[in-house]
Structure 1
Amino acid sequence: MKRSCLHLLVLQICVNVWFIGAQGQFFLKEKVSQKINFEFAANLIVVPVEINGIELSFVLDTGVSKPILFNLSPNDSIDLKNTKTFYLHGLGADGKIEALKSTYNRFKIGDAIGSSQDLYVVFDADINFTSRLGVAVHGIIGFDVFKDFVVEINYNSKYIRLHKPEFFKPKASKRWQTIPIEIYDKRPYLDAKINQNGTEKKVKLLIDTGSSDALWLFEDKAKGLQTYDSLFFRDYLGKGLSGSVYGKRSKINKFLLSDTHLDNVNVAYPDSASVDITKVYKDRNGSVGGDILKRFNMYIDYTNKKMHFKKNSYFKKPFVYNNSGIVLEYNGSMFVNERVELPSTDGYSDTYNPNVVKIDVSISHRMLLKPMYRIVELRQSSNAYASGLRVGDIVLGINGKEVYNMKLNQINEILFGETGKLVRLKVERYGAVKNYRFKLDNALKRNKPSN
């Protein structure tokens, strides 16, 4: 038996992988269901997964047919069995990537145990998605969980619940709707409609919990799937296993799912170079991702090929774009000289009021390791770029606050703010500290129409 002890790093935001193989089954022995809390980051569901006794964090991704491991820290190790080299293909323009396939691994999610699971391990150290999410993620898992359970996803309360299919009963409330889904090549698809400029079109979409975006459509002029009125902008769309994905971003008037519709919905059209169309299900027109899915609580039932859903508190929230054009990632740590006020241990009584004790405060400093954030993508049509900011700048402060005391999602809330808001950034470039000011502009600017 060949065994490997590995030290890795990687993760992803939106990926589809195509390969086939036998796989073990998950079991819940003493329960009919299992609740598991998740961390919600960039519209993605991050769940705790134990592999061969090692606790890790995985994105729950309906778009993948096999679990993929990447992004272990140098201090992490995991014992893998029966390994051999394999190649994976994912979204991105850089082609296939090498991976290690391991069989007969023990997975544990809550009390659900899979004792004979395949696992694919990616070695490319450049594929590190954890830094862009701001939370630790070591891999992705999808079909292996959904094939054995009815998976309840509660975006409001941030938990999933794994239900044994034989004991599951759909909700009877009128607030719940049910639609059929299709399972093709271990991935779920639904039928929806979109409305662009008064024209309604039917679309078949991959249900993709591993995508942060609302809606991806494959551009097809013959089917009328394209940007209209030159109202779009080119942008970084995300990162797949095979590299970064770029394309156009725009809006559609309506997204219709059964009797429910959403207005003014974000849509992205990935470049054809980023999608291997020969690997795509022939009837598929795109994907519905986390920015739409999070607006519903749902049950995904592969066994009976159904999805039950109802609106939640996210439903009425507007669809927003990154009006700054800035994409940040965690870029390691830096030492910060932090001022600390230390009370003196010797107190003394006030001469005029013996009941009052005065305490001297001395000033001290301590060196602390704090997170550091770097600009990794910057839209050239943005006001941020026009102000002088550049890719590679290390962000030190935003709107008068030191960013090392902020989480990445807190910074992004400012960068995704309303048009016209002023943003002040303090950055370091080649050892020099610089200050920049710009107003958040409307990302949707008119462009020359493509022929």
Structure 2
Amino acid sequence: MKLLMSIINFRKLRIYQLVLIIQVCVVITAQGQQFYFKGDRNKDAMPFLQVKNLIIIPLYLNNKGPYNFILDTGVGPLIITDPSLIDSIGIKVSRTIKISGLGSGNEIEAYISNDVSAQLGKSYIDNIPTAILKRDIFGLSNYLGTKVYGLLGYYFFKSFVVELRYSTKRLLFKHPNSGGKIKGERIPIEISSYKPYTNITIENPEYGKAEIKMLIDNGASHAISLERLNEKPFPVPAASIKANLGVGMSGPIDGNIGRVSALKIGSFAMKNVLASYPKYDDVAAKVLLKDRNGNLGADILSRFNVIFDYADNSMYLRKNSQFKRPFEHDMSGIELYLEDGQIRRYFISRIEPGSPAENAGVLVDDEIITIHFTPAASFKLDDINNLFKSVEGKTIILSIRRNDELVLKVFKLKQRI
């Protein structure tokens, strides 16, 4: 049967801008697979690392590890993005498939395996359906500043009642029949093709008020992506900027970044929410996306403590301390990637046209040496990105290396959306 998998585009520092859907023709021979506890245990809890709104957890594979994986409601099978794990943990692959995705370009190849066992905390799963990319096209580690090997999704979420406690960076999970009252406002969800969907309401001058169906994707760092409305391109607001939304499975994806004036999920209302509008021909026109209008990402979900109960078709939301934080886009125009060796090295992968960085003469491939005269290597990647979207009018001082010369660049952050 056909297995739809949602994979995030992490390359070019636009993880929060777009969720990709790819179609993999996989025959899954054991549909009943799920995580389980040994003995009398019925629940577990563990800390997680949160980077760019994403949840990174330590996963053991074939009794080796731990390996950092992103916990992601938007994916079906286990996805390994680093093919070196095939040899290091002894994966037996059954066959090779071709994957076509969003954007323009050629297909890529992946291996399929049902030979992988996994352990997360005190939970286990045997023979989890797995796709292993033949080459790491996403560059998760360069984007997140920590080594990441892939994504874990549906088979974990379907096995337990799962709480993502963003306020304390804790993951809690228990058997659905273990009892106890679930706290929060219940939001009905639909599980379709291994992924959860819900309805939200948005409002903007271009189309008024609209109720739309969204993929719930905590593995996408953005707030929302709007792809199609009434079988047509989603209306792009006048106050938007053109953007490179990343590199998909099949090549680059262009679009716009704007805002919706109001968003409501359940009884929770938000204003001036950032939204990405991918180019229709590259994304929304794809036949696989006709069951939805877009996706709801972690810049929304991380403002709550979230509980998923797939067995009851439910998601529960409770506001946390981050609920009222403003939705801010990068104000510098700089996209970074990290080369993480003995010393962190930060390079500029893209400059947005008309941005403060472009106007100051910052160029692609420049290496940032210091930030405010402090060595760049002393900053985490997340810290730099947070600085670049911190306060409009803030002065940024960079020393950069270009062709073996040091150059000083100074500019002020500017809100462009």
* TM-score calculated relative to the size of structure 2: 0.89
Quick check: 1:219–1:269 contact (8 Å CA) kept in 2?
no
Question: 1:166 offset after TM fit, Å?
Answer: 1.5
Is 1:127–2:138 an aligned residue pair? yes
- Which of 13, 19, 23 is residue 18 of structure 1 equivalent to? 23
RMSD: 2.3
Quick check: 2:83–2:134 contact (8 Å CA) kept in 1?
no
Corresponding residue for residue 32 of structure 1: 42
Query: Which amino acid in 1 is paired with 2:368?
Result: V
Query: Which amino acid in 1 is paired with 2:363?
Result: R
Per-residue displacement from partner, 1:115-172 (whole Å, max 9, x unpaired)? 1112111122443121011122100111111121121111111121121111244435
Aligned length: 396
CA distance in 2 between counterparts of 1:54 and 1:25 reads 19
Is 1:200–2:189 an aligned residue pair? no
Gaps of at least 5 residues in structure 2 are 1-8
The structure-2 alpha-carbon separation of the partners of 1:75 and 1:99, relative to structure 1 and needing over 3 Å to count, comes to closer
Query: Which amino acid in 2 is paired with 1:405?
Result: S
CA distance in 1 between counterparts of 2:232 and 2:181 reads 36
Query: Which amino acid in 2 is paired with 1:208?
Result: D
CA distance in 2 between counterparts of 1:431 and 1:74 reads 37
SS at match of 1:18: strand
Corresponding residue for residue 60 of structure 2: 50
CA distance in 2 between counterparts of 1:32 and 1:302 reads 17
Corresponding residue for residue 84 of structure 1: 95
Identity of aligned residues (%): 30
Corresponding residue for residue 191 of structure 1: 199
The structure-2 alpha-carbon separation of the partners of 1:91 and 1:145, relative to structure 1 and needing over 3 Å to count, comes to farther
Corresponding residue for residue 402 of structure 1: 375
CA distance in 2 between counterparts of 1:170 and 1:396 reads 52
Quick check: 2:82–2:132 contact (8 Å CA) kept in 1?
no
Per-residue displacement from partner, 1:1-60 (whole Å, max 9, x unpaired)? xxxxxxxxx977444333354253211123111112211011111111111122211111
CA distance in 2 between counterparts of 1:223 and 1:194 reads 17
Corresponding residue for residue 119 of structure 2: 108
- Which of 176, 199, 213 is residue 165 of structure 1 equivalent to? 176
Per-residue displacement from partner, 1:361-400 (whole Å, max 9, x unpaired)? xxxxxxxx31101001210120101111111111111122
Corresponding residue for residue 326 of structure 1: 334
Quick check: 2:83–2:133 contact (8 Å CA) kept in 1?
no
The structure-2 alpha-carbon separation of the partners of 1:244 and 1:59, relative to structure 1 and needing over 3 Å to count, comes to farther
Bigger Rg, structure 1 or 2: 1
SS at match of 1:388: coil
CA distance in 1 between counterparts of 2:330 and 2:179 reads 40
Quick check: 1:375–1:394 contact (8 Å CA) kept in 2?
yes
CA distance in 2 between counterparts of 1:44 and 1:93 reads 27
The structure-2 alpha-carbon separation of the partners of 1:296 and 1:122, relative to structure 1 and needing over 3 Å to count, comes to same
Question: 1:194 offset after TM fit, Å?
Answer: 0.2
CA distance in 2 between counterparts of 1:155 and 1:93 reads 36
Quick check: 1:374–1:395 contact (8 Å CA) kept in 2?
yes
Corresponding residue for residue 79 of structure 2: 68
* TM-score calculated relative to the size of structure 1: 0.82
CA distance in 2 between counterparts of 1:222 and 1:110 reads 43
The structure-2 alpha-carbon separation of the partners of 1:75 and 1:411, relative to structure 1 and needing over 3 Å to count, comes to farther
SS at match of 1:80: coil
SS at match of 1:412: helix
The structure-2 alpha-carbon separation of the partners of 1:435 and 1:297, relative to structure 1 and needing over 3 Å to count, comes to same
- Which of 249, 260, 263 is residue 271 of structure 2 equivalent to? 263
The structure-2 alpha-carbon separation of the partners of 1:11 and 1:269, relative to structure 1 and needing over 3 Å to count, comes to closer
Is 1:432–2:401 an aligned residue pair? no
Per-residue displacement from partner, 1:188-241 (whole Å, max 9, x unpaired)? 10011001139211010000111110000014487793223x200012334544
Q: Which moved more, 1:427-436 or 1:13-22?
A: 13-22
CA distance in 2 between counterparts of 1:152 and 1:215 reads 21
SS at match of 1:94: coil
SS at match of 2:377: helix
CA distance in 2 between counterparts of 1:37 and 1:58 reads 13
CA distance in 2 between counterparts of 1:382 and 1:439 reads 10
Q: Which moved more, 1:42-51 or 1:19-28?
A: 19-28
Quick check: 1:149–1:162 contact (8 Å CA) kept in 2?
yes
The structure-2 alpha-carbon separation of the partners of 1:194 and 1:35, relative to structure 1 and needing over 3 Å to count, comes to same
Quick check: 2:77–2:154 contact (8 Å CA) kept in 1?
yes
Is 1:313–2:324 an aligned residue pair? no
SS at match of 2:239: coil
Query: Which amino acid in 2 is paired with 1:392?
Result: D
The structure-2 alpha-carbon separation of the partners of 1:208 and 1:184, relative to structure 1 and needing over 3 Å to count, comes to same
Corresponding residue for residue 280 of structure 2: 272
Per-residue displacement from partner, 1:379-435 (whole Å, max 9, x unpaired)? 012010111111111111112211011111111121112221111111111211111
Which structure 2 residues correspond to residues 355-394 of structure 1 after superposition, within 5 A?
369-394=342-367
The structure-2 alpha-carbon separation of the partners of 1:168 and 1:300, relative to structure 1 and needing over 3 Å to count, comes to farther
The structure-2 alpha-carbon separation of the partners of 1:74 and 1:296, relative to structure 1 and needing over 3 Å to count, comes to closer
SS at match of 1:245: strand
CA distance in 1 between counterparts of 2:356 and 2:114 reads 50
